[in-house]
A = this chain, B = another copy of it.
Amino acid sequence: MKISINRQYFIEQLNHCLKAISPRTTLPILNGIKLEVKEDHLLLTGSDSEISIEITIPTEINNEEILEISETGTVVLSGRFFVDIIKKLSGNFVQLETNDAFQTKITASQSEFNLSGNDPDQYPLLPEVNDEESIILPSAVLKTIINQTNFAVSLSETRPVLTGVNWQFDDKGIQFTATDSHRLALRRLEGDQFGMDSMHAIIPGKSLNELNKIINDSDDEVEIHFSQNQVLISYGNMRFISRLLEGNYPDTSRLFPENYETKVTVNNGEFYHAIDRVSLLAREGGNNVIRMSVDDGNVALSSNSPEVGTVHEDISTGNVEGENLKISFNSRYMMDALKAINDDEVTIEFFGTMRPFTLKAAESDAVVQLILPIRTY
């Protein structure tokens, strides 16, 4: 292969590609990026065998030449070294030339690197994704969905299905669920165009995290194709492929209680900052437990650390219904849940000191966050 390529554009695409590469891979060749020069484009591939990212670089973008192809060919180059070199070179264009032994000469102005490359035949084939079912979302909507659910996936491998977000399709739309069994995040997306017959897919939280770093907060279309074991996400010049988690996702619908005992509406930002302050004295034990009380319409938060001191916060709320209450919870879970609710007013419904409570926007059920309390009273 022999090409000349716009260095800044190349760096951006390589940075996306690196997101699929894990330094802890067991297959050494997966530390590399595969470069395939075809007649009229360059294809970059990075993979850690769970996530694969494929990027197509055309010769021109908006009539500006970004890639000049002198000779086709394929090579795999050590991802870390290769990208560092391209970043530190000077000049607008960089030249790459690979010989039969996959030795690759990289030149730009007065610099010349010769990198040992690997035989692309050693590089594993990407999984085939048969386009069985697919939907289209604006990237901003997908980003919001990821932000509202993905934080709640389990980080423990004891129940692998819980490390992913469950996408449950029904005839009216999609329900996204994530839980680590201490808290649960639920988001509904309504729309006939998403309607499918009771299909479900569990996408690993780690894959959604990496995808979230790549897609923009914009109207750009994201095409999502599901097959039996894989999901393929097409976005601009990129194909992002992730395996799906196998197994049955637990039925979480029965977790949501009805008929609250206590209902409180608070200002999202003020409540968030109050929790943040109160948790300052709750982090010593490592479990961030803070207490909340509802007493004759007055809402207060408190915490104490025996060696350090105590804290008390009064919460302004014009809206308290139902019984008095004392409850304790993990402040981190509460702050995550508040961030996931894109609304200034948040309604919290409690069902007693020992039962899970729920948070949602005052005016919408699209997002519901559920948190298990901690027994301290």
Contact = CB atoms under 8 A, between A and B. Distances in A.
Interface of A: 78, 81, 84-85, 88-90, 103, 110-116, 273-274, 276-277, 280-281, 307-316
Given A315-B110, A316-B110, A85 B277 contact: yes
B113 A281 contact: yes
A35 to B, nearest CB: 15
17 contacts: A78-B308, A81-B281, A81-B308, A88-B276, A88-B277, A89-B277, A90-B273, A110-B274, A110-B313, A110-B315, A110-B316, A111-B277, A111-B313, A112-B312, A113-B281, A113-B310, A114-B311
Nearest to A113: B311
A353 to B, nearest CB: 24
A280 B88 contact: yes
B316 A116 contact: no
Nearest to A279: B88
Contacts of A84: 280
A316 B110 CA distance: 9
A103, A113, A307, A316 — which one has the most chain B CB atoms within 10 A of its CB?
A113
Contacts of A114: 309-311
A31 B87 CA distance: 43
A15 to B, nearest CB: 17
The secondary-structure label for the interface of chain A is mixed
Contacts of A90: 273
B116 A308 contact: yes
A332 to B, nearest CB: 15
Given A88-B276, A273-B90, A277-B88, A113 B309 contact: yes
A105 to B, nearest CB: 9
A115 B309 contact: yes
A268 to B, nearest CB: 15
A311 to B, nearest CB: 5
A36 to B, nearest CB: 20
Given A88-B280, A280-B88, A308-B116, A111 B81 contact: no
A277 B81 CA distance: 11
The 8 A-B pairs with the shortest beta carbon distances in the complex, nearest first, are: A115-B309, A110-B314, A113-B311, A114-B310, A88-B277, A112-B312, A114-B309, A111-B313
A231 B110 CA distance: 49
A247 B218 CA distance: 64
A84 to B, nearest CB: 5
